[in-house]
Amino acid sequence: VTDGLPTMDLNGNNWPPLGSAAGQGYGVNAAFYGIAGDSNHGINDDSGNVPSGQTQGGLDSSKTNDQALIDTITAIQALNKKGIKTYVVGLGAGVDANANPAANYALNAMAIAGGTGTEYPANNVSAFNAALGSIAAQIFGTINVSAPVAPSRLPAGGLIYTATSNNNSGELAGHVQAFRTVAAPTTGASAPIGTASGPALWDVGDPQYGLMTAANRQANLYSTVSANSGTARSVATLAQMGAASGTYSDQAAFGFTAASPAIPNIQTILYYTWDPSYNTTGDTTSPAYPAGPSGYSYLAGRQLNWMLGSFSPNDQLQYLAPPSDQYLGGLGGYVNFARNESGRQKLVLFTSNDGFLYAVDSQTGKLAWGWMPREFVGQLQNYQNFQRLQLFDGGFTTTDAVDTTTNPTASNWASYVVGTASAGAYHYAIKLADDPSTSPPSPTPTKQTWGISTPGGSSPQMQAPIIATVNGAQYAIFVVNTKTGSGSTQVTTSTLYEVNVATGQPASGSAQSASLGLGTGNYVTSALNYDSSSGTLWFGDSQGQVWNVYLTGTATADAAGLQLAGATNPAQPINYVGYTEQGGMPYFWAATQNEVTVFEQVSGGSGYIVWASSSSGGYEPDASGTLQQASGVNALMGQVSAVPYLKNGVFWVPVYQPPTGTNVCGVGSGGLNYFNFVNGLEPTTPITYKGQVVTGGYIYLGKGPALSPTGSNTTTGAIILATTQLTNLNTPPTPITQLFQNLNRPILWRQY
């Protein structure tokens, strides 16, 4: 990790940084195989020169006088020969490729020498965190991005979907696969509904299936047109935006200011965006695109002929069904809207490191569309580092929303994708409308209703915005943390946003956001949780406190009404929170890295601890409220590794056991703790896994951190789909089955 370039050789001689003003003054220079010269930054011309056995971008020491750089490369190469890889993170302005192209070439050459391909640029905190996360993923090799995803109700023989990523340089590839499940459960429930019955039916990026070709990428990859054009915030294809003229021409979005040997024009950017293997020897996926500049490849570590980019652990996979939100059924026009849309195409949505939010047909896997914010388009020219930026890091959600609350009809409703990107520095909403040219009609982006950029900002847990319906309108709720100052005087401020999904406006006034006054040195650290029945938003902070606030759609009013509900013991930063009602009583919960705590809410909105569990044991309060160890509450079997999941009264907590003892460089293991939510004891609901009724409060899943489980209802109960980052990479896991139990009944009245 460096904020500068090598400046001292092994003999102790100082060398000004390559490409800097001082370096230019002293005549410091270097050459990189296949890279054109740039005399303004000390780069000697080496275009067209990539000898056998060398890699484009590697240091050509025969044309270099920068001995500090030569010695650094030599040392890194020596490590690589011993099997030790070197990852390179360029941190800060000192190695900003836009200010000093030589810095980018030098750090890339170091990464090439280290066997890791390209450097990771990190000009802000979120980019630095993304770089470290990506490096960790590469060390693991191939990872699961999420637990398998299924429709909310999974029939026997239905499909489930997985997302995995090969993160090895030279083999970078994303895999989104569909698996057919068993038509009927086997005896003993060894293969319950939800169990994969064979190999993958398809893999979206695999060229052998022809589901994501260069031709349909060219026709169906979209972005957002400039706000100051004649079609403000409309969505258009990249082909239309890159054209020299036309209604949707927006060449400024590409940020292309000067031709270079590798990228002579915008058309080249489009070609390698549509076909990642463009101009590379062995490319079998390209249509009749003209040949590119001699000697240049744009793969940047991707697998040859693979059409889908890799995933980071913060990308997401989601199933989009036709509208059927029971909580919106009482609003004007919604029932007719849902009826009109009942036959539309069902999609699987996911984000990727190649900068797109994709949608594919849920049955065939064929690409329906891909979209990226206009703010990302200008980065496409940085092909060497583009995937490393992980621009779509963050969650997204889908929702139906109405654009007016005054006598709305079906035509006022639409489906939207609302999401978080760049680790929370960017939030967006895109409107979907049926494409009549497809059969069945495919919900396709037609408009970006809003986009909010907060440079340097981040959202807690990179969470998708929460959707809340207030007075008939739908609002995207999210928090952005920003930092001011440095060192001991640095302050983190949490800002609450409430934005109408369909219009981009607050419920009243003009302010979309307001600062949350949580006290000195305190800020939001948890993912948000919303309870629609009470209209309250829940979150946890850096000091172990749980807060709630009643939502009105106007952030300035709501931020003033914060209520402190409870605190964990011991006080630790909270990562996840939730609210629920069980047996007619209100509860909320909080999860820190090392503990889960369940509270019962009492009059006034505050709560008292009912039970807690950490690695040291289970706890319950005594008569005075002091937590004491309780033998009936099982201990957590590791650190809380992802969002806990509550299904029919059973609380599922994903955990990670780090390696210990002599295995400290291992990957550790993950599993699920499970509890009866209201008391922390063993659930009374029968739970089976791999044909056996399980007891003891813990299910081992495999190597690596456990991911957040997902659930689906079946004819006999529910299935829980759970895995870790490093297990079940080729076949979905065996579902955990949870039989039905008596669910909550409507409450006539209550007092507490």
Reported as a single tens digit per residue, the pLDDT across 468-483 is 999 999 999 999 999 8
Task: Give the three-state DSSP class for 466.
Answer: strand
Burial of 306 from C-beta contacts in 10 A (0-12 / 13-18 / 19+):
buried
Is the pLDDT at 751 greater than 80? The verdict is: no
Average confidence (pLDDT) over 708-715: 86
Rounded distance, CA 149 to CA 721, Å?
A: 8
Average confidence (pLDDT) over 196-213: 94
Q: What is the dihedral angle through the alpha carbons of 696, 700, 704, 710, rounded to the nearest 10 degrees? A: -90
Average confidence (pLDDT) over 356-367: 97
* pLDDT at residue 400, as a whole number: 98
Element (H, E) at 377: helix 374-377
Rounded distance, CA 582 to CA 649, Å?
A: 7
* pLDDT at residue 143, as a whole number: 72
% of residues, the chain, pLDDT over 90: 65
Q: Which amino acid is at 430?
A: I
Peptide bond into 440 cis (omega under 30): yes
Rounded distance, CA 632 to CA 671, Å?
A: 20
* pLDDT at residue 300, as a whole number: 87
Closest CA to 28 of 5, 47, 50: 5
Element (H, E) at 21: helix 21-25
DSSP symbols for 76-125: HHHHHHTT-----EEESGGG-TTT-HHHHHHHHHHHHHTTS-S-EEESSH
Is the pLDDT at 674 greater than 50? The verdict is: yes
pLDDT in tens, 233-273: 899 999 999 999 999 999 999 999 888 889 999 999 999 99
pLDDT in tens, 432-476: 998 888 888 999 999 999 999 999 899 999 999 999 999 999 999
Rounded to whole angstroms, the maximal C-alpha distance in the chain is 84
- Name which residue leads in pLDDT, 516 or 184: 516
pLDDT in tens, 635-663: 999 999 999 999 989 999 999 998 776 65
* pLDDT at residue 229, as a whole number: 41
For residue 226, give both structure tokens. Answer: 């400039």
| CA distances in angstroms from 334 to 33, 51, 400, 411, listed in the order given | 61, 64, 9, 9
Residues in contact with 79: Cβ distance below 8 Å, sequence separation at least 6, in sequence order = 85, 86, 114
Print the SS3 string covering 505-574.
CCCCCCCCEEECCCCCCCCECCCCEEECCCCEEEEEECCCEEEEEECCCCHHHHHCCCEEEEECCCCCCE
Is the pLDDT at 162 greater than 90? The verdict is: yes
Residues in contact with 483: Cβ distance below 8 Å, sequence separation at least 6, in sequence order = 125, 456, 490, 491, 492, 493
Q: Which residues pair with 320 in a beta bridge?
A: 347
Rounded distance, CA 282 to CA 300, Å?
A: 15
For residue 482, give both structure tokens. Answer: 């920003």
Rounded distance, CA 466 to CA 479, Å?
A: 10
Is the pLDDT at 231 greater than 50? The verdict is: no
Is the pLDDT at 743 greater than 60? The verdict is: no
Gyration radius of the chain over CA positions: 27
Confidence of residue 35 (pLDDT cuts 50, 70, 90): confident
Q: Would you tell me the crossing angle of helices 101-113 and 67-81 to the nearest 10 degrees?
A: 30
Average confidence (pLDDT) over 293-315: 90
Is the pLDDT at 36 greater than 90? The verdict is: no
* pLDDT at residue 228, as a whole number: 46
Residues 350 and 163 sit within 8 Å (Cβ to Cβ): yes
Rounded distance, CA 727 to CA 671, Å?
A: 11
Confidence of residue 53 (pLDDT cuts 50, 70, 90): confident
pLDDT in tens, 65-87: 999 999 999 999 999 888 888 98
For residue 166, give both structure tokens. Answer: 């090969």
pTM over 0.95: no
Rounded to a whole number of angstroms, the distance between the first and last alpha carbons of the chain is 56
Closest CA to 31 of 87, 89, 106, 91: 106
- Name which residue leads in pLDDT, 136 or 24: 24
Confidence of residue 551 (pLDDT cuts 50, 70, 90): very high
* pLDDT at residue 34, as a whole number: 86
* pLDDT at residue 136, as a whole number: 66
Residues in contact with 706: Cβ distance below 8 Å, sequence separation at least 6, in sequence order = 641, 642, 654, 655, 656, 670, 671, 672, 722, 723, 724
For residue 39, give both structure tokens. Answer: 């005399």
- When the pLDDT of each residue in the chain is averaged and rounded to a whole number, the result is 89
Rounded distance, CA 504 to CA 518, Å?
A: 26
For residue 752, give both structure tokens. Answer: 């507490």
Highest mean pLDDT among 183-187, 285-289, 587-591, 708-712: 587-591
Is the pLDDT at 523 greater than 90? The verdict is: yes
Q: How many CB atoms lie within 10 A of CB 293?
A: 16
Place of tokens 């820190």: 592
Residues 65 and 28 sit within 8 Å (Cβ to Cβ): yes
- The sign of the dihedral angle between the CA atoms of 64, 65, 68, 74 is positive
Rounded distance, CA 308 to CA 172, Å?
A: 9
Is the pLDDT at 745 greater than 50? The verdict is: no
Residue 712 has, within 13 A of its CA and on its CB side, a CA count of 25
